[in-house]
Amino acid sequence: MELDPLLLSRIQFGFVVSFHAIFPVFTIGLASYIAVLEGLFFKTRNPVWEKLARFWTQVFAVVFGMGVVTGIVMAFQFGTNWSNFSQASANFLGPVLSYEVVTAFFLEATFLGVLLFGRNKVPRGVHLFAAVMVAVGTFISSFWILSANSWMQTPAGVEFRDGAVFVTSWMEALFNPSFPYRFAHMVMASFLTGGFVVAGVSAWYLLRKREVEANRKALSMCLWMLLFFAPAQAWVGDLHGLNTLEYQPVKVSAMEGLWETDTNVPLLLFAIPDQANQTNHLEIGIPNLASFILTHDWAGQVPGMNEVAVEEQPPVGIVFWSFRIMVSIGLLMIAFALAGLVLRRGGRFAETPWFLKGLTYMSITPFIAVVAGWFVTEVGRYPWLVWGEMTLAEGLTPSLTGGMALFTLIGYVLVYALVFAAGVYYLMRIFQVGMEDTHTGDHIDEPHSAKRPWSGADVTLEAGGR
Amino acid sequence: MELIDLALIWALIIGFGIIMYVLMDGFDLGQGILFPFAPDEDARDVMMNSVAPVWDGNETWLILGGAGLLAAFPLVYSVFLPALYIGVFLMLTGLIFRGIAFEFRFKARTSKYLWNWAFAGGSILASFAQGVVVGNYIQGFAVENGVFVGGPFDWLTPFTVLTGLGLLAGYALLGSTWLIMKSEGYIQDWAYKITLPLLGAVLAVFVIISIWTPFVNPAVWDRWFSNIQIIWVLPAMTAFFAWVLFRSVQKRQDGMPFVATMGIFVFTFLGLVASKWPYVVPPDYTIYDASSAWESQLFLLLGLLFVIPIVLAYTAWTYWVFRGKVKAGVGYH
Ligand code: HDD
Ligand code: HEM
Ligand code: HEM
């Protein structure tokens, strides 16, 4: 069988970047949360805030570590598998990615050291400052990388000459048409991820009546935040979709599962898209709703897949279903945020078992929604790498053979499986041990009573090793 | 329009970035290389603690190297990475294992030995792969029309294996001299003890590489034995720092061995660059052929001039925060 380096590279890139993405979305949200907790502790000196800050910093360290090691892989993937694309787009992507390194990565990495190891080495104000800098770094990082990605979706501010990109306006290229929507949507996704994980873990503790005071405070904070961000995310998502309709209409056709341009288009709740026959099976939909959402007119006209040649159509099934998964989770999040508001009367939000249990399960949904969202965005871009300008096939490394690509694909899958298993296992241990021991949140302490400090109250990797 | 020789400025900046990376990540990769040979678990704890707060920042210089090449010399980026495809994968795997070992080793108890291996194995693999890159740079690449056309294993030759081993020894030397500076007692004694044999190994590899290189690449021979005698200053300085290192270890001066080792690295690096200048994708492409658009180089340069000093300042500040000896038994948990 002939191995196709293009297909294997796509699978590999999709895999490593999706795997990377789940860590940043969590750390971006969590970094801000930790900065807020440190700030509250700094102002009020209430030890509850410090307890929470130490606990979540410990979680943060593990997730951030996984974000860093998987991110380093990303920095080289462009060159190893997409060298023609790197070469062609370097005039724009090179400076953008370099700016990300010097304005964000150094900031995060350096102040992370102080945040994790410096609690006893620097004044409290400086420690707070380090926490804030780490959080700021994560946003700066998102800014640059999402600008790069958005530019690939909706290129602007450049001209294509002799097979390469030349920047004519940095402002237009950086703030390209889809960038504001993607940045807002992604930042909110990060807050929702941080919020639902913290809420879920706090709920889990409350169900077990552990550290009730601290976890109640944490849950209450999260619920207020989610009440704002969950609906706002749906609103921004809608604007994002309208923007996509303008610049990448065929992607919207795929999201809606619409084969022929039409008016009075229904919103499909269920369908099995059939690319070969250019049709759907088993459609269930709400009449006219898609037309209304996309054109704000019940009879509005929506473009279908037939607007482009069959070879230029993205795989509809993946886009269609990923989109539904994301939106359903978004709606579920809104439902939980509203339920939290209703249960506030009499403080029942911290006591109602079904609600707490539900929140515990909700803590994995943001990760699913984020990966699904990226699948919509990226698979929906097929066959383009740079929309309308360069296809995936043109961007591929010419010397890459199927065998090489397969080797590294298998390698990354194995390595990441190991990293992921160890990381999840260790996070579970942190959650089980909990925040009862105030010392567990810090990385380096002066020698306290025990001669070998980790033989004391600290979390160990093996179950029962405490 | 090309008023300033931006390509030259960028070559200096990238060179600076590479040397920063090699010196900084070198000493923490060195801890991993020396890990299996450490006297005991306490010593390993000290070794790891001595670099735990800074390794992530150190490794960021590598990412800057990658992104900076893409921005300023995209041809280098888009030839080196495909040419070294499998080697890059191995390096990244090494960096992954070693990176997570920092977080997990201290949480582990019965499985601690596994993370010891992850840290050591990862560091050794990554260091070796980086040395192989150096060998490939000396050797040159099969490139046509700006595209790599060689095979998947062109990067692996006896010569590149030797440069791989050489860098391994070099990083171990940076690691042992760093440890001399950061530790005390029996751990420091051990670090002193291994430093001179490591220096011997590094010098031996240098000599073999110097003799071998002309056979791998005749242009380098011309460079060294034709007109410009001034470049012999560079190996002379390397030898001088080797001597300083030797003396300071004998006199047991805490900080000097590390400084001297950095000197060895800097002048070896300059010697390497002098052998090839101005070629960046040997044998055919110079820094001017490999450059990105002038506007792009300028756009990034303006920002860097402003940001890099700030980065250097807060990097220096963290080293200051974590200054001093690392004591055995002070926990990282
Ligand atoms: C919206 C957020 C986001 C997205 C879409 C990406 N990243 Fe990322 N990345 C981050 C947000 C982030 C972060 C929050 O800044 C991380 C997560 C953990 C960390 O250390 O920083 C990070 C880490 C990180 C690192 C390690 C930095 C370090 O050593 O501190 C690299 C090299 C990259 N990323 C590169 C990439 C590339 C090439 C991507 C695109 C394909 C990418 N990231 C997508
Ligand atoms: C971090 C979140 C991201 C996720 C989860 C993600 C996911 C994916 C997936 C699933 C694909 C495969 C699509 C297909 O082959 O049909 C893909 C392709 C691609 N993405 Fe992204 N992406 C993300 C961010 C980015 C960013 C920020 C960039 C660029 C700066 C980028 C560049 C690319 C490129 C070059 C491809 C083409 C290769 C391919 O099709 O596999 N991605 N991505
Ligand atoms: C509830 C209603 C939501 C709507 C209407 C919506 C809408 C959209 C649309 C239209 C896109 C594709 C943009 C493109 O054309 O490329 C998208 C992408 C994405 N969505 Fe959503 N979304 C919703 C909820 C969520 C939630 C809850 C999350 C995660 C917590 C999320 C995370 C993402 C991510 C990460 C992407 C890819 C990045 C991007 O292109 O912005 N979305 N969303």
Give the DSSP letter of residue A444. Answer: B
Rg (CA), chain A: 24
| Nearest-CA distance A393 → chain B (Å) | 15
Give the distance, in angstroms, between the CA of residue B329 and the centroid of all CA atoms in the same chain: 30
Atom 15, ligand 2: residue with shortest CA distance: A10
The better pLDDT of the pair B216, A45 is held by A45
Give the structural domain span for A52: 28-176+401-466
| Site of tokens 């995936």 | A392
Secondary structure of residue A398 in the 3-state scheme: coil
Span of A124-138, A452-466, B110-124 with lowest mean pLDDT: A452-466
What local confidence, expressed as pLDDT, does residue A36 receive? 96
Residue window 227-246, chain B: list those with CB within 8 Å of chain A: none
Cβ within 8 Å of residue B183, ≥6 positions away: B43, B46, B47, B50, B191, B325, B326
Task: Give the separation between CA B329 and CA A451, rounded to whole angstroms.
Answer: 6
CB B256 within 8 A of CB B178: no
Q: Are strands B285-286 and B147-148 parallel, antiparallel or unpaired?
A: unpaired
Compare A30 and B327 and report the one with higher pLDDT.
Answer: A30
- Ligand 1 near A187 CB (within 6 A): no
More confidently predicted of B229 and A124? A124
In three-state secondary structure terms, A160 is strand
Question: Is residue A232 predicted with pLDDT exceeding 50?
Answer: yes
Its ipTM equals 0.87
pLDDT tens figures, B237-263: 999 999 999 999 999 998 999 999 999
Q: How confident is the model at residue B218 (pLDDT cuts 50, 70, 90)?
A: confident
**Does A81 fall in a domain?**
yes
Do residue A111 and residue B82 have CB atoms under 8 angstroms apart?
no
Stretch B258-277: mean pLDDT, rounded? 92
For residue A390, report the distance from its CA to the centre of ligand 3, in Å.
24
C-alpha to C-alpha distance for A202 and A210, rounded to whole angstroms: 9
Question: Could you tell me which residues come within 8 angstroms of residue A406 by beta carbon, excluding any fewer than 6 positions away?
Answer: A3, A8
pLDDT at B329: 61
Q: DSSP states of A258-305 as a string?
A: --S-EES--EEEEEEEETTTTEEEEEEEETTHHHHHHHSSTT-EE--G
Hey, which of A32-36, A274-278, B102-106 has the most confident mean pLDDT? A32-36
pLDDT of residue B2: 59
| Dihedral pair phi/psi, residue A280, rounded to 5° | -110, 155
- pLDDT bin (cut points 50, 70, 90) of residue B213 is confident
- Would you report the helix, strand and coil content of chain A in percent, each value rounded to 5? 70, 5, 20
Q: How far is it, in rounded angstroms, from Cα A78 to Cα B136?
A: 20
SS3 A442: coil
Measured in Å, residue A12 CA sits from the centre of ligand 2 at: 10
Task: Please tell me the pTM assigned to this model.
Answer: 0.90
Determine, yes or no, domain membership for A162: yes
* A435 φψ region: left (φ > 0), alpha (ψ -120 to 50), beta (else): alpha
Query: pLDDT digits over A244-261, tens only?
Result: 999 999 999 999 999 999
Our answer on whether the CB atom of A100 is closer than 6 Å to any ligand 2 atom is no
Mutate to test the pocket of ligand 1, among A15, A17, A68 (most ligand atoms within 8 A of CB): A68
Query: Does any ligand 1 atom lie closer than 6 A to the CB of residue A72?
Result: yes
* CA-wise closest residue to B311 among B99, B77, B64: B64
What average pLDDT does the structure give for chain A? 90
Q: Which of B70, B111, B325 best tests the A interface by mutation, with the highest count of A CBs <10 A?
A: B70
Q: Are the CB atoms for B118 and B100 separated by under 8 Å?
A: yes
* Å from CA of A18 to ligand 2 middle: 8
The three-class DSSP label of residue A352 is coil
Q: Poorest-confidence range of A81-95, A132-146, A164-178, A426-440? A: A426-440
Contacting residues of A for B108, CB less than 8 Å apart: 460-462
Ligand 3, CB within 6 Å, residue ranges? A 153, 182, 185-186, 189, 192-193, 233-234, 237-238, 240-241, 244, 251, 326-327, 329-331, 333, 366, 369-370, 373-374, 376-377
Which chain A residues contact residue B59 at CB under 8 A? 68, 72, 109
Number of other CB atoms surrounding residue A195 within 10 Å: 29
- Asked if residue A363 belongs to a domain, the reply is no
Q: Does B324 touch chain A (CB under 8 A)?
A: no
Using DSSP's 3-state secondary structure scheme, residue A82 falls into coil
Q: What DSSP designation does A95 have?
A: H
Is residue A463 very low, low, confident or very high in pLDDT (cuts 50, 70, 90)?
A: very low
**Atom 32 (ligand 2): residue with closest C-alpha?**
A149
Q: pLDDT tens digit string along B308-326? A: 999 999 999 999 999 888 8
HEC sequence for chain B: CCCCCHHHHHHHHHHHHHHHHHHHHHHHHHHHHHHHHCCCHHHHHHHHHHHCCCHHHHHHHHHHHHHHHHHHCHHHHHHHHHHCHHHHHHHHHHHHHHHHHHHHHCCCCCCHHHHHHHHHHHHHHHHHHHHHHHHHHHHCCCEECCEECCCCCCCCCHHHHHHHHHHHHHHHHHHHHHHHHHCCHHHHHHHHHHHHHHHHHHHHHHHHHHHHHHHHCHHHHHHHHCCCHHHHHHHHHHHHHHHHHHHHHHCCCCCHHHHHHHHHHHHHHHHHHHHHCCEEECCCEEHHHHCCCHHHHHHHHHHHHHHHHHHHHHHHHHHHHCCCCCCCCCCEC
Taking the Cβ of residue A13 and every Cβ of chain B, the question of whether any pair is shorter than 8 Å is answered with no
The yes-or-no verdict on residue B84 having pLDDT over 90 is yes
| Separation of first and last alpha carbons in chain A | 52
pLDDT band (50, 70, 90) for residue B330: low
pLDDT tens digits for B26-39? 999 999 999 999 99
Whether pLDDT at A442 is above 50: no
* Ligand closest in space to the Cα of A196: 3
Q: How far is A76 from chain B (nearest CA, A)?
A: 7
For chain B, the C-alpha Rg in angstroms (whole number) is 20
Chain-chain contact of A461 with B109 (C-beta, under 8 angstroms): yes
Residue A448 is predicted with a pLDDT of: 35
Q: How many domains does chain A divide into? A: 1
Q: Do A113 and B296 touch (CB under 8 A)?
A: no
Residue A391 parent element (H or E): strand A390-391
Contact B323, B94 (CB under 8 A): no
Residue that wins the pLDDT comparison between A125 and B2? A125
pLDDT number for residue A466: 31
**By alpha-carbon position, which residue is closest to atom 33 of ligand 3?**
A373
Tell me if B5 sits within 8 A of B153, measured CB to CB.
Answer: no
Comparing alpha-carbon positions, the chain B residue that sits nearest to A407 is B86
Measured by CA distance, the residue closest to atom 27 of ligand 2 is A149
C-alpha span between B120 and B117 (Å, rounded): 5
- B contacts of A93 (beta carbons < 8 Å): 70
Residue A229 belongs to a domain: no
**Could you tell me if A416 and A70 are in contact, meaning their C-beta atoms sit under 8 angstroms apart?**
yes
Nearest by CB to residue A90, choosing from B92, B292, B318, is B292
Q: Answer yes or no: is A110 within a domain.
A: yes
pLDDT at B104: 86
Binned at pLDDT 50, 70 and 90, residue B231 comes out as: confident
Residue A352: is its pLDDT beyond 50? yes
Enumerate residues 6+ apart whose C-beta is below 8 A from A365: A196, A329, A332, A333
Give the integer Cα–Cα distance in Å for B200 and A309: 67
What's the gap in Å between A149 CA and the centre of ligand 2?
A: 8
DSSP, collapsed to helix, strand or coil, labels residue A390 as strand
| pLDDT of A438 strictly over 70 | no
Measured between CA atoms, how close is A421 to chain B, in angstroms? 12
C-beta separation of A185 from A193 below 8 A: no
pLDDT (mean) for B110-123: 91
In a domain, A257, yes or no: no
A117–B contact, CB cutoff 8 A: yes
pLDDT (mean) for A39-47: 93
Which pair of tokens denotes residue A11? 């699978």
CB pairs under 8 A between A and B: 262
* C-alpha B174 – ligand 1 centre gap (Å): 29
A65 belongs to a structural domain: yes
Task: Please list the residues that pair with B281 across neighbouring strands.
Answer: B285
pLDDT of residue A1: 52
pLDDT digits (tens, 9 = 90+) for A256-305: 999 999 999 999 999 999 998 899 999 899 999 999 999 888 999 999 99
pLDDT recorded at residue A451: 31
Q: Is residue A309 part of a domain?
A: no
Question: Which alpha helices (DSSP H) does A101-123 contain, by range?
Answer: 106-117
Predicted pLDDT of residue A457: 32
pLDDT band at A347 (very low <50, low <70, confident <90, very high): confident
Q: Is the CB of A379 under 6 A from ligand 2?
A: yes
ω into residue B283 within 30 of 0, thus cis?
yes
- pLDDT value for B144: 87
Burial of A254 (0-12, 13-18, 19+ CB in 10 A): buried
Q: Which atom of ligand 1 is nearest to the CA of A69?
A: 26
Closest CA to B77 of A84, A24, A21: A84
pLDDT tens-digit profile of A192-226? 999 999 999 999 999 999 999 999 999 999 999 99
Q: Atom 41 in ligand 3: which residue has the minimum CA distance? A: A182
pLDDT of residue B109: 74
Q: For the packed helices B55-72 and B74-83, what is the interaxial angle rounded to 10 degrees? A: 110
Q: Which of B60, B84, B310 to mutate to test the interface with A (most CBs of A within 10 A)?
A: B60
Min distance A437 CA to chain B CA atoms (Å):
13
CB contact under 8 A, B322 and A459: no
Q: Is A74 on the interface with B (CB under 8 A)?
A: no
